[in-house]
C-alpha cells in the first residue's frame, strides 16, 4: 500500500503521470487533506472538477516586507473563456461589446483573469493573481525555463522518496527552488516575473519565492572558499538569473501613443469627441482634439525623455576579469556575471557592475550615487570568524557587512593589496537584485503614498458619476416627453455624462504640485516624486540628523586630554607616543590625485598632528611585501628617532577595521619602522572604548570629564592602544578578526572636537516651533552632546526639562528595566573657567559598569520636582531597542515626548520614523543622505542635503547645505495642497454649474450652443484652471495646517454652500426671466437644436460669470499663498474674461451675438438687473469663502463634533497632560511577566 504524503509540488511517477505529493509523513489529523491527494494520484481530472480549497488559499510572498503580496493561482479554462466571450458579444452588442471588454480588461487585468481562468493550487497554475499591501491587483503569467542539471550550482538539494506497493524506493530529487521533470539532462523551473523581480517555484514551501543572490543566508566562509566558476557553470546560472543588466525599456513613440490613447482619461475624451460630433458640435470637438493632440505629444516626449535619461544614468558596459580557478582569468562583458563569480578589481578602479563581497585587498569607493555621501569610503575584506564547536556558521548580512561590500553603480577609485596580488570579490547580486537595481525599481514602481486627498478625489468622482446617472435618466425622460428621436435621446443623454464628469479633472488635481516643483527647483531643491509635495504640506513633525545637518560638516579640534597630563590645546605639541601615533594613524584617509580625502573628522584630526601621509609606491617596501599607507612627522626634531639611530620614524597602516555604526568604533593595525611587533590603535565613542580597555587604565575621573565636555556640546572621541604579540605575522593580518584585537586595550585619552551649529539652524528651528511643527533630533552622536545641541538650537527651550530614558535588557536574573532621570544643565561657568579642575590627574581604576551619576562641581544637579515647562525624553539607540523589545507599549509615549534620540543606527532611525507615522504624524526627515537613507525613504517627505541635482536616496534633494530648505518645502507643500484643493473644487463646481445649466435648458428642449460651450470650456475654464496655480507660496509658516482631506468639514461646507448659491442664482434668474412681460417662451422645433432663445441667452450669460467668480473665490491667498493680486497673469485673465462676459451681457454687437447665438432684443434694464444680481452673488461668494469658511468660529464648531481626535498622538498628548504622575522620574520600571511594575530606587 502506498504511504500517504504531504503535498509540496508535482513530481513525475514511473508511469509518466504527474504526482502532486512528496513522501514526507503526515499526522492522521490531516488525513482528509492527504487522502484527497491520494485519490488525485489515480484520478488526475478529479482535481480539476473538485479542486482542493486548502491548497488554493492565497499565499504571502515577501512576508513582512514592504513588497508583501498575496499570491493566488489560476489556470486556463477554455469553457470559461468561451462563455465570457459569448456573454460579451451578446450583452455588449457584438464588436462594440468586445472592444469595451478589451478596454475594461486592460484597465483591470484581474477581472480578465477571473473571467477567463479558474482558481487552482499554485503548483498547477499557469498564471498568478497578486495583491499588494496597497490593495492593488496584478496578474503575471507563469513560464518554464529549462536548466542543465548540475545541482551543485543551485545550492542545497532535498531528497524525497516514496514507496511503491512492492516496497521499492525511488528517489525524487528536488532543489529547494526548482521542480524536477522527467528529463535526466534538465531541470524545469517554473517562474514568473513581477516588477523586474523573478519568483521561482519552491517545492519545499509549495509556493513561489523571490529569486535571490548570495545574501543574508550565505555563510561568510563560503566566500573565502570560492575558487571561481567554470564557463559551463556560469552559463547554467545565467539561464536562471538572466543578464546582469538594469534594463530600462525605452518604448517607441507609436507604442507610447497607443498606451496613452488607451488611458481611461483619453478614452473618455474620444468618447466625448464622438458624441459631440454626432451632436454637430464640430468646432468644440475639433478644439478638444487639437488640445489633446498637443497634450499627448508633450506627454509622450516627456515620458520618452525621462526613460532615456534613466536608461543613460544606469547604463553600464564594461569588461570584467573573472577568475576561473588556478591561474586562469578571463575578461567577459559585465552582462554575463552571475552570483558566485569571483571577479578582480583593477588597481586604478572601475565602475562596479554588480554587488560583490570583497575577500582580498582594500578599495576606496565613491558611493555618492547611492547614498548621497560625497566622502569616499574604505572597503575592507569580509571577516571570516572561526566557527566554534556546536556553533552555527556566521552568515553574511547585507546591512552588517556593508563596509565589506562593493555595490553596483559605485565608483571604485583605487585598490590596495600585496604587491602583484589581485584584489578579488565574489559576486552576490546582479541586475535588479543589486542595490542599484533595487533603487531603480523604486523609481520605476513607486509605492503609493495613500494620501487622503487622492482617495477623497476618487470618492468625489464616484459622486459625480452618480449625478451623471441621475442626469442621464432625467435627460432620457425629458427627451422622450418631447417625442425626440431615438438618436437624439441617446446623444443628449450621453452628453450629460460629459458635462458632469469633466475630462480635465485629473489634470486639475496635479497642477498645484507641478508649479510647486518648478518653484522648488529655482530654490535649489529637486523633487523626483511630485505627489510628495502635496503630502509635505501636512508635515507635523520634522526629524533632523545632527552632524552636517544642524551642525557644521567640519569639526574643529578644541583640544586633547591625555590620560596622564593636562589639557593640550594643540595636538602637534603632544610628545611622541601612543596617543599621537593613534591620532596620526587611526583613520581611513587616502590620497586621490594628490589630495587627501576621507571623513571630515579624520581630516581635522590628522591635520592637527602636522604629520604626512604617503600612499603605497615603489619606495614603500620597507614593511615587507605589504605596501601600506605610511604616516610620519615632518619636523626635523621628530623625524629622526635619536642621535644614535638613523632609522626614520614612520608608521605603516597594515590593516583597517572600518568604522561601524553598530560597533561605534574603528581600529587599525600598524607597525612602526624598526619595531618587531605590531600595534593596535582604536578610536570611537568614549563609553564603548572605555568598555574595551583594561579597567585599571581607565581614569577614575573618566565619567565626570566626559560629561563635562559633552554637556557643553563638544564631540568627544576616545583612543586606546595595545601591542600585539610578536607571534602575529603579516600573513595573519588579513584573516584576523577585530574581536581578537579590540580587547584588553590601554586607555590613552580623549580628543575634544568642537562642532558648531550652522548659522541658519537656530532661526529655522524657531520658525518651525512658531508654526507648531515638532522638531526631533535623530543622531548617531553622544547623548549629552545631542541634548546640548538641542538646547542651543531651540528644540528644547530654556524652561523645558530633559528626562533621560535608560533601558537595560534582562541580565543576571534581573528583568529588563527602564530608569527615568533628569538631565543636568551646565552652569554659567564656562569651560575655560572650569579648566581650574584639570582632568589630567586622573586616577586609574574607574569602574566602567558604574552608571553616569558622578558629576563635576561645575555642573548643577536639578532637584527632582515637577518641571515648569514641557518635558522632553532623550533616548539612546540601545535603550530604544530594549524598549521596542520589552516595553512595546511605552514606544508611543516615548515617541510623543521624545526630542533627542542619540546613538541611533541607520535601521533604528527608520524604525523611529515608522513609529511616529503609526501615531498619525506626517513626518519629514532631513539628513545628509549617508546614514539616513532608510529614514529618508521611509518619511513622508525625505530631504537630503546634497550637491547633486537629484538623489535616489530621497524624494527631495536640496543643494542648499542647511536646514533652511525644510520650511521652504513645507511652505511649497502647503501652497500646492491648497492649490490642488482649490483647483479640484473649481472643477467640481464648474461641472455642477454646467450640469444645472444643461438640465435647465433640457427642460425646455434647448441646449447651449457649440460656440457657447467653446467659450465656457476653453476660454474660461481651461485658462483660469491653468493660471490659478501660479500663485506663489506665502513667505511665512503659520501654526494652522491646511486640511488634508477633501471630505474635511470645512471643504464640504465650502463646496455645498457654493452649490446652493450657484443653484439659487441660476434658477432665480431663469424664473425671473419668465416673469418679464416681454418674454416669449421657446416653442421647441423637433428638427432644430433650439439654441437661439431668451432662456439660453440668460443661462449662458449668467453662468459665464459664475465660472469666473468661482475661480477667483477658490484662489485663496493668505495664510498659505501670496494674495490673489500677486498672481499677475491670472489677474489679467480674469479682467479680460470679465470684460468680455460683460460685453456679451450688456451690449453684444450683432455679428458677435449671431456668432455666439445670443438674443439681442432683451431690454437693457433687464440686462443691468442681471448684472446687479451677479454682483450681489459675487459679494456673497467672497464673504462665504473669506469670512465664513476661513473663520475660526466655524472651525471650532466643527471641532465640537469631533469628540475624539482621529490621530493617536493627540490622544496620547491629552492622556499625558492629564497624568501628572507620569513619567515616574527617579524610579525604575521593570518588565515582569509582560507587565510593568514600578519600584523606587533609593
Task: From residue 79, give the alpha-carbon distance in Å to each of 72, 120, 1083.
Answer: 20, 15, 57
Cα–Cα distance between 468 and 271 in angstroms, integer? Answer: 15
What single-letter DSSP state applies at residue 16? Answer: S
CA atoms within 13 Å, Cβ hemisphere of 1171: 15
The answer to whether the beta carbons of residues 429 and 339 sit under 8 Å apart is: yes
Catalytic residue among 22, 132, 545, 679: 545
> Which pLDDT score is estimated for 866?
43
> Which pLDDT score is estimated for 765?
95
- Backbone CA torsion sign across 253, 258, 259, 263: positive
Cis geometry, peptide bond prior to residue 1223 (ω within 30 degrees of 0): yes
Cis geometry, peptide bond prior to residue 488 (ω within 30 degrees of 0): no
What single-letter DSSP state applies at residue 844? Answer: B
State which residues of the chain have pLDDT below 70. 1-55, 92-94, 149-185, 369-375, 385-392, 418-420, 448-454, 503-509, 553-554, 565, 616-627, 635-647, 661-662, 824-869, 929-931, 947-953, 1198-1205, 1232-1242
Neighbours of 158 (CB within 10 A): 14
The answer to whether the beta carbons of residues 1058 and 1181 sit under 8 Å apart is: yes
Phi, psi of 1123 (to 5 degrees): -55, 155
List Cβ neighbours of 755 (8 Å cut-off, separation of 6 or more): 547, 551, 552, 555, 556, 713, 714, 715, 785, 789
> Which pLDDT score is estimated for 542?
97
Q: What are the helix (H) ranges across 4-77?
A: 31-42, 46-49
Q: What are the pLDDT digits (tens) for 1107-1165?
A: 999 999 999 888 899 999 999 999 999 999 999 999 999 988 889 999 999 998 899 99
What are the domain boundaries of the chain?
Answer: 45-211, 253-314, 319-385+394-444, 556-754, 974-1199
> Which pLDDT score is estimated for 971?
95
Task: Write down the architecture of domain 974-1199 according to CATH.
Answer: Up-down Bundle (1.20)
Cell 560597533: give the residue.
663
> Which pLDDT score is estimated for 402?
83
What fold characterizes domain 319-385+394-444?
2.70.150
What single-letter DSSP state applies at residue 28? Answer: G
Task: From residue 724, give the alpha-carbon distance in Å to each of 671, 675, 743.
Answer: 10, 12, 11
Strand partners, 146: 188
Q: What are the helix (H) ranges across 93-135?
A: 95-107, 109-116
Strand partners, 591: 596
- Does 545 qualify as catalytic in the annotation? yes
3-state DSSP helix/strand/coil percent for the chain, to nearest 5? Answer: 40, 20, 35
Domain 556-754 has CATH 3.40.1110.10: yes
Cα–Cα distance between 921 and 966 in angstroms, integer? Answer: 16
> Which pLDDT score is estimated for 151?
47
Could you tell me how many helices (H) and strands (E) the chain has, helices first?
Answer: 38, 49
The per-residue DSSP string of 1092-1111 comes to SSHHHHHHHHHHHHHHHHHH
What does pTM read for this prediction?
A: 0.71
> Which pLDDT score is estimated for 1116?
87
> Which pLDDT score is estimated for 377?
81
Amino acid at each position: 500500500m502506498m504511504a500517504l504524503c504531504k503535498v509540496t509540488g508535482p513530481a513525475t511517477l514511473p508511469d509518466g503521470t504527474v504526482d502532486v505529493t512528496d513522501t514526507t509523513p503526515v499526522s492522521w489529523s490531516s488525513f482528509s487533506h492527504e487522502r484527497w491527494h491520494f485519490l488525485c494520484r489515480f484520478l488526475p481530472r478529479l482535481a480539476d472538477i473538485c479542486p482542493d480549497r486548502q491548497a488554493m488559499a492565497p499565499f504571502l510572498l515577501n512576508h513582512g516586507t514592504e513588497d508583501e503580496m498575496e499570491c493566488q493561482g489560476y489556470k486556463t479554462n477554455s469553457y470559461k473563456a468561451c462563455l465570457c466571450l459569448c456573454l460579451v458579444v451578446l450583452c455588449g452588442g457584438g464588436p462594440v461589446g468586445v472592444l469595451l471588454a478589451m478596454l475594461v480588461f486592460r484597465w483591470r487585468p484581474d477581472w480578465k483573469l477571473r473571467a477567463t481562468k479558474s482558481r487552482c493550487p499554485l503548483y498547477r497554475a499557469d498564471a498568478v493573481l497578486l495583491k499588494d499591501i496597497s490593495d492593488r491587483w496584478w496578474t503575471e503569467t507563469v513560464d518554464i525555463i529549462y536548466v542543465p542539471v548540475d545541482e551543485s550550482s543551485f545550492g542545497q538539494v532535498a531528497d524525497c522518496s516514496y514507496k511503491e506497493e512492492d516496497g521499492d524506493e525511488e528517489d525524487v530529487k528536488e532543489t529547494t527552488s526548482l521542480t524536477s521533470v522527467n528529463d535526466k539532462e534538465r531541470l524545469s523551473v517554473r517562474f514568473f516575473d513581477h516588477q523586474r523581480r523573478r519568483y521561482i517555484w519552491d517545492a519545499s514551501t509549495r509556493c513561489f519565492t523571490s529569486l535571490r543572490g548570495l545574501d543574508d543566508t550565505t555563510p561568510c566562509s563560503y566566500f573565502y572558499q570560492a575558487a571561481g566558476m567554470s564557463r559551463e557553470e556560469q552559463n547554467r546560472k545565467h539561464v536562471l538569473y538572466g543578464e546582469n543588466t538594469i534594463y530600462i525599456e525605452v518604448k517607441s513613440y507609436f507604442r507610447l501613443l497607443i498606451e496613452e490613447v488607451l488611458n481611461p482619461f483619453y478614452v473618455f475624451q474620444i468618447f466625448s469627441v464622438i458624441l459631440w460630433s454626432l451632436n454637430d458640435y464640430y468646432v468644440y470637438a475639433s478644439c478638444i482634439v487639437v488640445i489633446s493632440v498637443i497634450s499627448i505629444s508633450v506627454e509622450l516626449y516627456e515620458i520618452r525623455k525621462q526613460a532615456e535619461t534613466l536608461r543613460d544614468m544606469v547604463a553600464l558596459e564594461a569588461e570584467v576579469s573573472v577568475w576561473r580557478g588556478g591561474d586562469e582569468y578571463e575578461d567577459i562583458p559585465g552582462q554575463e556575471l552571475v552570483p558566485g563569480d569571483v571577479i578582480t578589481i583593477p588597481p586604478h578602479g572601475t565602475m562596479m557592475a554588480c554587488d560583490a563581497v570583497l575577500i582580498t585587498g582594500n578599495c576606496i569607493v565613491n558611493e555618492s550615487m547611492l547614498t548621497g555621501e560625497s566622502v569616499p569610503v574604505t572597503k575592507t575584506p569580509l571577516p571570516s570568524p572561526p566557527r566554534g564547536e556546536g556553533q552555527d556558521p556566521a552568515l553574511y548580512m547585507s546591512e552588517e557587512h556593508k563596509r565589506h561590500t562593493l555595490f553596483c553603480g559605485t565608483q571604485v577609485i583605487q585598490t590596495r593589496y600585496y604587491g602583484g596580488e589581485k584584489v578579488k570579490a565574489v559576486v552576490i547580486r546582479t541586475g535588479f537584485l543589486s542595490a542599484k537595481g533595487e533603487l531603480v525599481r523604486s523609481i520605476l514602481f513607486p509605492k503609493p503614498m495613500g494620501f487622503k486627498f487622492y482617495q477623497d478625489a476618487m470618492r468625489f468622482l464616484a459622486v459625480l458619476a452618480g449625478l451623471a446617472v441621475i442626469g442621464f435618466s432625467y435627460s432620457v425622460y425629458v427627451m422622450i416627453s418631447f417625442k425626440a428621436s431615438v438618436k437624439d435621446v441617446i446623444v443628449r443623454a450621453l452628453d450629460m455624462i460629459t458635462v458632469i464628469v469633466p475630462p480635465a479633472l485629473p489634470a486639475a488635481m496635479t497642477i498645484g504640485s507641478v508649479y510647486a516643483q518648478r518653484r522648488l527647483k529655482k530654490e535649489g531643491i529637486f523633487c523626483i516624486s511630485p505627489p510628495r509635495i502635496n503630502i509635505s504640506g501636512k508635515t507635523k513633525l520634522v526629524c533632523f540628523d545632527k552632524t552636517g545637518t544642524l551642525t557644521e560638516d567640519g569639526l574643529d579640534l578644541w583640544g586633547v586630554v591625555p590620560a596622564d597630563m593636562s589639557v593640550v590645546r594643540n595636538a602637534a605639541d603632544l610628545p611622541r607616543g601612543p596617543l599621537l601615533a593613534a591620532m596620526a594613524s587611526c583613520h581611513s584617509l587616502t590620497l586621490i590625485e594628490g589630495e587627501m580625502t576621507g571623513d571630515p573628522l579624520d581630516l581635522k584630526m590628522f591635520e592637527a598632528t602636522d604629520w604626512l601621509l604617503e600612499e603605497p609606491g615603489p619606495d614603500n617596501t620597507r614593511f615587507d611585501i605589504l605596501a601600506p599607507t605610511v604616516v610620519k612627522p615632518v619636523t626635523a626634531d621628530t623625524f629622526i628617532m635619536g642621535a644614535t639611530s638613523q632609522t626614520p620614524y614612520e608608521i605603516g597602516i597594515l590593516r583597517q577595521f572600518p568604522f561601524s555604526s553598530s560597533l561605534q568604533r574603528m581600529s587599525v593595525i600598524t607597525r612602526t619602522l624598526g619595531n618587531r611587533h605590531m600595534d593596535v590603535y582604536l578610536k570611537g565613542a568614549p563609553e564603548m572604548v572605555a568598555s574595551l580597555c583594561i579597567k585599571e587604565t581607565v581614569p577614575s575621573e573618566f565619567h565626570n570629564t566626559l560629561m563635562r565636555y559633552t554637556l557643553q556640546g563638544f564631540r568627544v572621541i576616545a583612543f586606546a592602544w595595545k601591542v600585539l604579540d610578536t607571534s602575529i605575522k603579516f600573513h595573519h593580518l588579513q584573516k584576523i578578526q577585530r574581536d581578537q584585537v579590540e580587547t584588553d586595550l590601554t586607555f590613552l585619552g580623549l580628543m575634544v572636537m568642537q562642532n558648531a551649529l550652522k548659522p541658519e539652524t537656530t532661526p529655522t528651528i524657531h520658525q518651525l516651533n512658531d508654526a507648531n511643527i515638532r522638531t526631533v533630533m535623530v543622531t548617531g552622536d553622544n547623548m549629552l552632546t545631542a541634548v546640548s545641541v538641542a538646547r542651543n538650537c531651540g528644540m528644547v527651550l530654556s524652561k523645558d526639562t530633559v528626562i533621560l530614558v535608560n533601558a537595560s535588557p534582562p541580565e543576571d536574573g534581573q528583568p529588563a528595566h527602564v530608569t527615568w532621570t533628569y538631565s543636568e544643565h551646565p552652569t554659567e561657568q564656562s569651560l575655560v573657567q572650569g579648566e581650574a579642575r584639570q582632568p589630567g590627574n586622573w586616577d586609574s581604576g574607574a569602574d566602567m559598569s558604574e552608571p553616569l551619576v558622578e558629576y563635576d562641581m561645575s555642573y548643577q544637579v536639578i532637584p527632582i520636582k515637577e518641571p515648569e515647562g514641557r518635558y522632553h525624553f532623550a533616548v539612546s539607540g540601545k535603550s530604544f531597542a530594549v524598549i521596542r523589545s520589552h516595553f512595546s507599549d511605552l514606544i508611543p509615549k516615548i515617541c510623543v515626548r521624545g526630542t533627542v534620540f542619540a546613538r541611533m543606527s541607520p535601521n533604528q532611525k527608520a524604525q523611529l520614523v515608522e513609529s511616529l507615522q503609526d501615531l498619525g504624524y506626517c513626518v519629514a526627515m532631513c539628513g545628509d543622505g549617508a546614514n539616513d537613507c532608510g529614514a529618508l525613504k521611509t518619511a513622508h517627505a525625505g530631504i537630503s542635503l546634497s550637491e547633486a541635482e537629484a538623489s535616489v536616496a530621497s524624494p527631495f534633494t536640496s543643494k542648499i547645505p542647511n536646514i533652511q530648505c525644510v520650511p521652504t518645502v513645507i511652505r511649497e507643500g502647503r501652497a500646492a495642497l491648497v492649490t490642488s484643493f482649490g483647483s479640484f473644487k473649481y472643477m467640481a463646481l464648474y461641472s455642477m454649474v454646467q450640469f444645472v445649466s444643461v438640465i435647465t435648458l433640457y427642460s425646455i428642449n434647448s441646449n447651449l450652443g457649440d460656440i457657447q460651450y467653446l467659450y465656457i470650456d476653453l476660454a474660461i475654464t481651461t485658462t483660469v484652471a491653468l493660471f490659478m496655480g501660479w500663485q506663489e507660496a506665502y513667505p511665512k509658516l503659520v501654526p494652522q495646517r491646511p486640511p488634508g482631506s477633501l471630505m474635511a468639514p470645512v471643504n464640504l461646507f465650502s463646496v455645498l454652500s457654493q452649490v446652493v448659491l450657484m443653484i439659487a442664482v441660476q434658477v432665480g434668474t431663469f424664473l425671473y426671466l419668465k416673469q418679464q412681460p416681454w418674454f416669449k417662451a421657446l416653442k421647441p422645433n423637433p428638427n432644430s437644436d433650439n439654441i437661439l432663445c431668451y432662456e439660453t441667452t440668460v443661462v449662458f450669460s449668467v453662468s459665464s460669470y459664475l465660472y469666473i467668480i468661482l475661480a477667483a473665490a477658490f484662489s485663496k491667498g493668505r495664510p498659505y499663498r501670496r494674495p490673489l493680486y500677486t498672481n499677475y497673469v491670472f489677474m489679467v485673465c480674469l479682467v479680460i474674461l470679465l470684460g468680455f462676459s460683460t460685453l456679451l451681457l450688456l451690449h453684444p454687437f450683432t455679428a458677435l451675438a449671431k456668432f455666439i447665438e445670443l438674443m439681442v432684443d432683451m431690454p437693457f434694464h433687464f440686462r443691468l438687473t442681471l448684472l446687479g444680481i451677479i454682483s450681489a452673488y459675487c459679494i456673497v461668494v467672497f464673504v462665504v469663502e473669506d469670512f465664513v469658511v476661513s473663520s475660526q468660529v466655524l472651525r471650532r464648531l466643527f471641532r465640537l463634533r469631533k469628540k475624539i481626535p482621529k490621530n493617536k498622538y493627540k490622544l496620547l498628548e491629552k492622556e499625558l497632560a492629564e497624568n501628572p504622575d507620569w513619567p515616574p522620574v527617579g524610579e525604575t520600571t521593570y518588565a515582569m511577566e509582560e507587565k510593568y511594575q514600578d519600584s523606587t530606587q533609593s
